[in-house]
A and B are shown apart, each in its own frame.
Chain A
Amino acid sequence: MRILPEPTPETRHFWDGCNAGELLLQCCTACAETYFPPRPFCPRCASRDVHISRASGNGVLWSYVINHRPHPDVGSKPYAVAVVKLAEGPMMMTNIIDCPQTPEALRLDMPVRVRFVRQSEDITLPLFAPADGRIR
């Protein structure tokens, strides 16, 4: 079992979105900055006039490491701790699924697409899979 997040009032919409199959970022109405992680104001201009915006779910694999040390809550095999650069701009930590956890298969800049994977009644994690469907 993974260490699951405990949503707070400021992040609740994001986790509710994941449960509903939507990747929700926030956007500043004043300066148009799209940002993540969630907070009720713009990290660029400090405006409180922000709104929720639904992301496309597309991105590219930006960087990663493949953890070989035992980490039972994620599994017994090596797994990549990855960062995806979303099409909308923000970076997001995640895991890459439906893909061998090898340097050969995990190519930087490869297109990836979000896959919502339910973990508990309350929590669904946004994981990502190769978008071109060729790597399995």
Chain B
Amino acid sequence: VKRGSVAVVGAAETTDLGKIPDLSVIGLHADAALNAMADAGLRPADIDGVATAGISAEELAYYLGITPTWADGTNVGGCSFMLHVRHAAAAINEGLARTILITHGESGRSRVGAVPLARSAASLRGQFEAPYGAAGPPTMFTVPVLRYLKAYGLNEEDLAWVPVIQREWAARNPRASFRDPITVDDVLGSPVIAWPFRKLMCCLVTDGGGALILTAAEGAADFPRKPVYILGTGESTAAPLISQMEDFTSSRAFKVSGRKAFAEAGISHADVDHLMIYDAFAHLPLYGLEDLGFCKPGEAAGFIRDRNTAPPGPDGRSGQLPLNTNGGGLSYMHSGMYGMYALQESVRQLRGIAAAQVPGTRVSVCHGVGGWFAAAGTIVFSNEI
């Protein structure tokens, strides 16, 4: 993708977040899409490209009355939307479409119109993981972490700091599901889900959606909102079986995706003002900070505990690298495919309208994961080119 050639000109979440029993999955996609079109001052006739995951691209286009010249149904799990942004930017560069709508909607909690996760007993996972009671993200995504902790001499308390600090960000966000402060003791004392993971180290399960509208940077300034430019993009995939992750202390997909995005953007780590790392579970920000190169291996837990990613504390000083400023999947919301909400927060921060606004944010890095370390997508955004 050509640096700074494409911009986000529309961005919105569903009107409500959390528990939305009166909308089905496709209804959540549509609610977010209509909000994003209103945000950009566009109508369906103005959209000529669609990308989505969870429902099909053709369902989305049909339901909203869009006639696309480009469609992308990439589904690699929760970071699908990072890949959509990347693919859409490339498509706009190539002239395949001019104005692209990317949507997400998921009835994670209410399960209205939700399709159950398909599992085949003949798939690799069905044959070589499911028989051992690896049943869903809490018993798969979490499997590598004891090896990670042992490799670096860390313990469960180090893991517990992640939700504690993120809750501080959530406390500043009226739309966050959980806003009350928590301590390390609260986290370690919450019910065990899959040891060493306690409930407060696991993401929420909520309803919601979000949508983005992208178009060429040239002309983006004519839209109602301040444009947010795409500086760099990356994506990759790795083993879909958690037991086959190459290195239990590091994600190859994170590294490949991150390096590509940073190189394309031509930025260094010191240029990053704001960071989003998909946090379905407490260990993900640790892997993310290290695999994206913000911390050396094994040092991310200390980096977080030392308040480098935290909002202003009692002394009024905020961390040098604000991370997951919406409260993250651990406290803000998590419908199942959280990547869209991370993208929305990056856009809000760069527009200067976030609930917990980081002053002077110019560069935001947004990193997503799909499956259990099976895919990654990274977008570098800026409000300047």
Contact = CB atoms under 8 A, between A and B. Distances in A.
Residue in A66, A79, A94 with the greatest tally of chain B CB atoms within 10 Å: A66
A132 interface: no
Interface of A: 2-8, 11, 37, 62-69, 71, 73-74, 78-79, 81-83, 91-95, 103, 108, 119, 123, 125
A4 B195 contact: no
A83 B139 contact: no
B195 A103 contact: yes
B132 A94 contact: yes
B147 A95 contact: no
Given A8-B122, A68-B193, A62 B147 contact: yes
A64 B197 CA distance: 11
Interface of B: 119-122, 124, 126-135, 138-140, 142-147, 150, 191-197, 241-244, 248
B193 A3 contact: no
A31 B164 CA distance: 48
Nearest to B195: A66
B133 A71 contact: yes
Nearest to B144: A63
Contacts of B130: 3, 5
A4 B126 CA distance: 8
A92 B243 contact: yes
Nearest to A35: B244
Nearest to A94: B132
A4 B194 contact: no
B144 A7 contact: no
A65 B126 contact: no
Contacts of A73: 133
B122 A65 contact: no
A67 B194 contact: yes
Contact of B131 (A5, A69, A78): A5
Contacts of A83: 143, 242-243, 248
B133 A37 contact: no
B126 A95 contact: no
